[in-house]
Amino acid sequence: MDAQVGDSIATSAEPIFVVEDDYDICRLIEHNLRSAGYGVHSFSTGASVVTEATRAHPRLFLLDVMLPGTDGFDLCRQIRQIELLAKILIIFLTARTSEADRVKGLELGGDDYITKPFSPRELVARVRAVLRGSREMSLSEVLNFGELEIDPCSMTVTFAGRAVTTTVREFRLLEYLASHRSRVFTREQLLDAIWKETAFVTPRSVDVYVRRLREKIERDPSKPRYLKTLRGVGYRFEVPR
């Protein structure tokens, strides 16, 4: 499938990479994404996905979780470890519907999670929503808080003089909290602000993202200085004294 099905990589500067081993499902996805105006490049396994992505730099990955060989979760992990690919959006496609699987997908850096069976209309709507959300980053000034620097224009984070790799969702959450520093937000308020176009996230999802951010921007994640928890309420961004 990798070489023949849906190889429109040459005609689209930023295609959507579809990794799905079921031929019929893959063709259905391709047809509907192309009809919606997207370029598509398909793979039946994860073997060559990372290599091709470093060349083509896709707009989005659609990853089936249950793949032969390297599964979708492992593939996501690989993508997030490569600086050139780390900010590219990832949507999981899977028949696995448990909350544990969804949380695992979040923890690995997934941006959405679509369960099978799905309608073609839903798929296209979710793809559009995730891509639209990534373009809605504010163009405000650089935010400086001691060791922490957040640049909305370049979507970059620097902590203690080193670049910090974040996903689009992680960056949006951090920028939102930092832009409203000292204000307390409930998990539900953060869901509405950051994940308004995504159906699968829950209040627990916010906890996952905050934990991931703390691991990246706090010297001691167990005693955070920036991302504070107000037990029973939610979170706030605080400027260390």
| pLDDT number for residue 4 | 40
- 129 and 157 share one domain: no
- 18 and 130 share one domain: yes
- 148 and 224 share one domain: yes
Structural domain including 93 reads 9-135
Per the structure, the count of domains in the chain is 2
Of 100, 135, 170, the residue at which a domain comes to its end is 135
- 37 and 61 share one domain: yes
Give me the helix-helix angle, 168-179 and 203-217, nearest 10°. 90
pLDDT per residue, tens digit, the chain (241 aa), is 454 444 444 344 579 999 999 999 999 999 999 999 999 999 999 999 999 999 999 999 999 999 999 899 999 999 999 988 988 999 999 888 787 887 788 788 888 888 899 999 999 998 988 887 666 554 568 899 989 999 988 889 999 999 998 988 899 899 999 999 999 999 999 988 887 766 567 788 899 999 999 999 999 999 999 999 999 899 999 998 8
| pLDDT number for residue 194 | 84
Write the CATH number for 196: 1.10.10.10
Task: Report how far residue 128's alpha carbon sits from residue 46's, in angstroms, rounded to the nearest whole number.
Answer: 24
Pairing of the two strands 143-145 and 227-230: unpaired
Instruction: Tell me the C-alpha to C-alpha distance, in Å, between residue 61 and each of 45, 87, 91, 96, 235.
Output: 13, 11, 6, 18, 30
With respect to residue 52, please indicate whether it lies within any of the assigned structural domains.
Answer: yes
- 149 and 185 share one domain: yes
With respect to residue 50, please indicate whether it lies within any of the assigned structural domains.
Answer: yes
With respect to residue 1, please indicate whether it lies within any of the assigned structural domains.
Answer: no
Task: Report how far residue 185's alpha carbon sits from residue 137's, in angstroms, rounded to the nearest whole number.
Answer: 19
- 149 and 122 share one domain: no
With respect to residue 67, please indicate whether it lies within any of the assigned structural domains.
Answer: yes
Write the CATH number for 59: 3.40.50.2300
Q: Is 134 helix (H, G, I), strand (E, B) or coil?
A: helix
- 131 and 14 share one domain: yes
With respect to residue 175, please indicate whether it lies within any of the assigned structural domains.
Answer: yes
Of 86, 118, 135, the residue at which a domain comes to its end is 135
Is residue 194 within 8 Å of residue 169, measured between CB atoms?
yes
- 101 and 162 share one domain: no
Of 95, 113, 135, the residue at which a domain comes to its end is 135
Instruction: Tell me the C-alpha to C-alpha distance, in Å, between residue 176 and each of 80, 153, 159, 238.
Output: 22, 14, 17, 12
With respect to residue 3, please indicate whether it lies within any of the assigned structural domains.
Answer: no
Q: Which residue has the tokens 């639209």?
A: 132
With respect to residue 158, please indicate whether it lies within any of the assigned structural domains.
Answer: yes
- 24 and 104 share one domain: yes
| pLDDT number for residue 10 | 37
With respect to residue 103, please indicate whether it lies within any of the assigned structural domains.
Answer: yes
- 23 and 113 share one domain: yes
- 150 and 230 share one domain: yes
- 67 and 124 share one domain: yes
pTM of the prediction? 0.69
